[in-house]
Amino acid sequence: MKLIICKNYDEMSAAAANIVAEAMKADPACVLGLATGSTPVGMYKKLIEMNKAGEIDFSGVTTVNLDEYYPISPENDQSYRYFMNENLFDHVNIDKTRTFVPDGQAADPAAACEAYEEIVAKVGPAAVQVLGIGQNGHIGFNEPDTALEVKTHVTGLTESTIKANARFFASEADVPTKALTMGIGTILGAKKIIILANGTAKHAAIAKMLEGKLDTSCPASMLNLHADVTVICDEAAYNG
């Protein structure tokens, strides 16, 4: 794994945005794998600025997001579809029909996962997959467990994740208890992966991942199987 240690959140966001921008310049019709959460918000802000300055063009880009709560409507301001519109898609020249997020209100969520896995296969491997990391080492909603799923699947959220995400909802009881998420194999299908982390709360998860072993209690450690992963973190996440 390559490691970029940044002074602060702003530097981390700029480093991540530059890698995404390079991929877009190299192939204006590229696929981007995108993530939600508070971590990538600064990166999205920088990508919006670059787009407005005419440095990068989203018109030919396709995006596939990692995950979505279940059940949730796309109009719910806590849905990841809503997040992506608010934090990126509504501010750049992207064709929204080429932006994919798992269907949080599918009548048959297992079938929706299969369909999503097919979409990811059909659009082709992401030039860059952006990831955050949970305090518990999750990537997407692949939570620590004795076994991890390979493909897009329905999953329950752990207590730790529900607590971590409760800050965005009116109360902890409002956090959906399930999600649809790309599996570890889906994520590893990207050509390049960048994983972002800031703040001391992420230190334990980052340190575990960087041990270089495969440990299902830290799903991010599975990224050690991929040949092109760049960890971009601030000093607080790296040093603890």
Residues noted as catalytic? 67, 136, 138, 143
Under 8 Å between Cβ of 112 and 180: yes
CA distances from 18 to 189, 202, 215, 233 (A): 21, 22, 30, 14
User: Interface mask (CB under 6 A) for ligand PGA, residues 77-116, using x and -?
Assistant: ----------------------------------------
CA distances from 102 to 48, 179, 192 (A): 23, 9, 21
42 binds ligand PGA (CB under 6 A): no
137 binds ligand PGA (CB under 6 A): no
Q: Which stretch binds ligand PGA (CB under 6 A): 115-123, 126-134, 204-212, 230-238?
A: 126-134
Please state, as a whole number, how many other Cβ atoms lie within 10 Å of the Cβ of residue 30: 20
132 binds ligand PGA (CB under 6 A): yes
* Among 133, 157, 180, 231, contact with ligand PGA (rule: CB under 6 A): 133
Residue placing its CB nearer to ligand PGA in the complex, 8 or 38: 38
Under 8 Å between Cβ of 9 and 42: yes
User: Interface mask (CB under 6 A) for ligand PGA, residues 9-38, using x and -?
Assistant: ----------------------------xx
With the CA atoms of 118, 119, 120 and 126 taken in that order, what torsion angle do they form, in degrees rounded to the nearest 10? 150
Distance in angstroms (rounded) separating the CA atoms of residues 150 and 186: 7
51 binds ligand PGA (CB under 6 A): no
Closest residue to ligand PGA, based on beta-carbon distance: 37
**# binding residues, ligand PGA (CB under 6 A):** 6
Q: Which stretch binds ligand PGA (CB under 6 A): 7-15, 82-90, 129-137, 185-193?
A: 129-137
User: Interface mask (CB under 6 A) for ligand PGA, residues 164-203, using x and -?
Assistant: ----------------------------------------
152 binds ligand PGA (CB under 6 A): no
- From the centroid of its chain, how far is CA 231? 13
Under 8 Å between Cβ of 183 and 216: no
Distance in angstroms (rounded) separating the CA atoms of residues 93 and 105: 27
Under 8 Å between Cβ of 103 and 116: yes
Query: Considering the complex, what minimum distance in angstroms separates the CB of residue 101 from ligand PGA?
Result: 15
Q: Which residues here bind ligand PGA, judged by CB under 6 A?
A: 37-39, 132-134
